Structure 1
Amino acid sequence: MCRPIYDYVLFRTQGCPVTVPQQEHEELPATLLTPAQAFDALYAFCSPALVRQTFLLTGRRELARESVERAFQLAWQRWPEVAVDRDPAGWVRAMAYEYALSPWHRFRPRHRHPEAPVADPSDRALMAVLLKLPPPQRRTLLLYDGVGLDLPETAAETEASTPVTASRLLHARSAIAARLPDLAEPSCLHERLTSLAAAERLRAARPSAVRTGSERRARLWTRAAIAFTVALIGTTALTLRTAPTHYEPPIAPGAEVEGVPARVGRGALSEAEVSLREKLREETASGPERLVPLAD
C-alpha cells in the first residue's frame, strides 16, 4: 500500500518545488516502507514548501505552521485513505488551505494583533495586496500562479467550476496589476511569489511530533466522545426513571366564587366579652378548672 506513496514522494513535484537528481532515483531501495516511514517521507518532502505557501495565503507565520501541522495530523488519522490517493500532496494542501482560511481565526486573541511585516519593501507591498484580495481569489491565484497548477486542477481543489475559477484568477491579477504594474505579466508574478515565499525562513515541526500530536488528539476526541455518550445514556436513564408512567390530567383552572361576603376587621368587644376576658386573665394558668376534668 505504501509503495505508491514512496514513488510519489520522490518523483512527483507538483505543488512542492523540490527536485531530486536522477542519480538518486537509481539508488532508491526496493524495500517497502512502513506507514510511518511513508508519512515521514511525504511530510519531509512537502511541509517546507507548504508552510511558505500558507504564509502567502494568510500573512501569519504561526498560523501557517499550525495549518500545515493540522493538515498532516488529519492525514495521519486518515492515512489508509491518503496513502492510496492519486495526489497525496494535493490532499494535504487542500486541508491546510481550508484550515488557514477558516473565518474562526479572527476571534482568537493572538490573531487580533498584526505580525511583523516582511523585511523587503517590495515584498511587503506585494503581501499587502495579496491580503486585501478575497480569500477565494487569493487561493486561486496562489494555486495557479504560485504552485503552478493548471486551471482544471485549480478548479477541482477549490471546489469551483472552471469558469468561476478563471474569473477569480483574472480579478486577482487585475487587482495586483492595478497596485503593482510591474507584476502585470504572469511570469513576473510567479517569480515574485516564489521569491517572496523563499525569503521567509519558516520551519515545520518534526514528523514524529506531528504523528504523536495526531494520535494524542485522536485519543482526546475518542475519550470526549465516550464521556459524552455515557452522559447521554445516564441522562436518558434518569429521565426514564423519573418520568410518569401514566397520564395525569392537568388541574382545571379555578373558577370565581360569587356571593361570599368580604372580610372585615374585628370590631370593639362588647361588655360581656370584656368581663369574660378579665375573668380569664384573673384565673391561674395552672388551675384545675382547665387541666383536670371533673368526674361526674
Structure 2
Amino acid sequence: MTQGAATPLPPPKERRRLREAGSLSRDEIAERVGVTRETIRRWEAGRTTPKGQKREAYAQLLAELIAAPEQPSTAAAAPSTAGPLPAATAAIQEPAPPTAGATAVAVAEPEPAAAPEPVAAGLPARTAAEAFDALYTHAAPFLVRQTYLLTGRRILAREAVERAFQQAWQNWPEVAVDPDPAGWVRAAAYEYAMSPWHGLRPGKRQPEAPPATPEDRELLGALLDLPPVYRRTLMLYDGVGLDLPETAAETEASTPAAANRILHAREAVAQRLPDLAVPEQLHQRLTELAGSERLDAPVSTVVRSGGEKRTRFWTRAAVAFTVFIIGATALTVRVAPTHYEPVPAPGSPIAGVPPLTGPERLTPADLELRKELREKLSGGPERLAPRTE
C-alpha cells in the first residue's frame, strides 16, 4: 500500500526493534493503539499498513519509543482506546471446532511466538531449502483444497498455491522469521486466486467438471454466489478456523465488519441449504467438500526451481529491455541534429508581374495556310541561277 501525506512510519523491522527495545509486548502496543495483537504483528511484518487515526496513534507511540527508549512503561500505562465489539459478534467470536475423523480443511498453523526462529511451521530444518520444503509439505495440500473452495476451479487453485510458494521462496528471509509463515503463503494464494483479472483469461470460459454429488455441487454453488470478500471471510473463519481478529486482519477489515460479513455469508448459504444453518454443520460440510477433491500440489523442488526460472527470466528480460532503451537512446543522440536549422518561410505572391504566357494555338485557317505553303514550295519551278558566257 502506498502512504500519502500522513505521518511517516519507520520501516517494519524498525517498528519491531523499537517495541522490543522498549520491553513492550504486542498486547500492550495493541491496547495503546486500539487494535488487536494480530494487527500489530502484521504491521511489524509489513503485510499491512495502518491508516487514519490508528496510524497517527501508532506513529506517536513509536516516536515516544524513539525519544525515550529507557522508559517503556509509559506506553503500557496509557488507557485503551478500543471500544467494545457489537453484541451481534459475541455469538461468533469462537470458531467451530473441527469434526473428528474428517479430512481437515484447516491448516494446522503454529501459534505466534515472541522470538520465532527461521523454521517453517515448527518443523526443524538446517537450510533454507529444507525449511521451505517443510513448510510446503505441511501447508500446500490443505491450501490447494481451500483455494478450490474459493474459486471453484482446480487448475486455478493449483496455480495460485504454486505462485504463492514461489513468491514465498523469493522472499524467504522475510517469510522464515514470520510468526505465521503458513498464513503469509495463504494470504498470497488467496490474493492471486481471487484476482478479477482471471476473468479475462481464455481458460476461464471453459467450464470445469462439477463435484460428484448433488450436495457438494449445491454447496459449492452457494459459496461461489457470495461476493468474493464475503466468501474469503467465511472460508477463513468457518473453513480454516481462524478467530475473528485474525480473520479481520487477514481480510484488512475491522472486527465488526468481518463479523457482519460472516453473519451475512452464513445467512446466504442457509437460505439455499437450510441444513447448514448451524455453524458446526457448515464447518463439517466445508471439510467434507474439500476432502472429496483430489487436488495434489506439485513437488516442492519443482516449485522452487520454477520460481527461480521465472525470476531469472524476468531479470534477463529487464536487462534486455534496459539495453534496448540504452541503444535506442544512443542511436537517437547519434542521428539527431546538432544545431538548429530554421525552416524556410513560405512563399508570398508578388504584385506587378505579368503572368507567364506562350504562343497561341493555331487556328484552322492558319493550319490550312501552312499546309498550302509546304505543298507549293516543294513542287515549284527549279531555281534559276545566272550563268556567264
TM-score range, shorter chain: 0.7 to 0.9
Partner SS for 2:212:
coil
Cα contact 1:15–1:89 (8 A) shared by 2: no
Choose from 61, 67, 89 the match for 2:154: 61
Choose from 176, 188, 191 the match for 1:83: 176
Match of 2:164 in 1: 71
Match of 2:202 in 1: 109
* Residue type at the aligned position of 1:243: A
- Within the alignment, does 1:235 sit opposite 2:355 as a pair? no
Choose from 217, 235, 259 the match for 1:142: 235
Match of 2:20 in 1: none
Distance 1:68 1:198 in 2: 17
Match of 2:107 in 1: 16
Partner SS for 1:51:
helix
Cα contact 2:148–2:157 (8 A) shared by 1: yes
Match of 1:120 in 2: 213
Cα contact 1:105–1:111 (8 A) shared by 2: yes
* Residue type at the aligned position of 2:299: R
- Identical pairs, percent: 64
Deviation at 1:33, TM superposition (A): 1.6
Partner SS for 2:295:
coil
Deviation at 1:168, TM superposition (A): 2.0
**Count of residue correspondences:** 254
Deviation at 1:254, TM superposition (A): 4.5
Compared CA separation, residues 32 and 175, structure 1 to 2 (3 A):
closer
RMSD: 2.8
Cα contact 2:151–2:224 (8 A) shared by 1: yes
Q: After superposition, what is the alpha-carbon deviation per residue over 1:84-113, rounded to whole angstroms, capped at 9, x for unaligned?
A: 111100010011111111112122222211
Match of 1:284 in 2: none
Unaligned runs of 5+ in 2: 1-103, 111-122, 375-389
TM-score between both structures, scaled by the size of structure 1:
0.78
Compared CA separation, residues 244 and 128, structure 1 to 2 (3 A):
same
Compared CA separation, residues 207 and 251, structure 1 to 2 (3 A):
same
Distance 2:170 2:312 in 1: 11
Match of 2:248 in 1: 155
Cα contact 2:109–2:180 (8 A) shared by 1: no
Q: After superposition, what is the alpha-carbon deviation per residue over 1:178-225, rounded to whole angstroms, capped at 9, x for unaligned?
A: 111111121111111111111111100001111111111111111101
Deviation at 1:269, TM superposition (A): 4.2
Cα contact 2:145–2:157 (8 A) shared by 1: yes
Deviation at 1:140, TM superposition (A): 0.7
* Residue type at the aligned position of 2:107: C
Deviation at 1:17, TM superposition (A): 4.5
Q: After superposition, what is the alpha-carbon deviation per residue over 1:137-195, rounded to whole angstroms, capped at 9, x for unaligned?
A: 11111001100111221121112222332222222112111111111121111111111
TM-score between both structures, scaled by the size of structure 2:
0.60
- Within the alignment, does 1:220 sit opposite 2:307 as a pair? no
Distance 1:83 1:50 in 2: 18
Cα contact 2:237–2:247 (8 A) shared by 1: yes
* Residue type at the aligned position of 2:126: L
Partner SS for 1:165:
helix
Deviation at 1:245, TM superposition (A): 2.6
Cα contact 1:15–1:90 (8 A) shared by 2: no
Deviating beyond 3 angstroms after TM superposition, the runs of 4 or more aligned structure 1 residues are 247-266, 269-272
Deviation at 1:14, TM superposition (A): 10
Identify the structure with the greater helix proportion. 1
Match of 1:10 in 2: none
Match of 1:184 in 2: 277
- Within the alignment, does 1:207 sit opposite 2:300 as a pair? yes
Cα contact 1:58–1:64 (8 A) shared by 2: yes
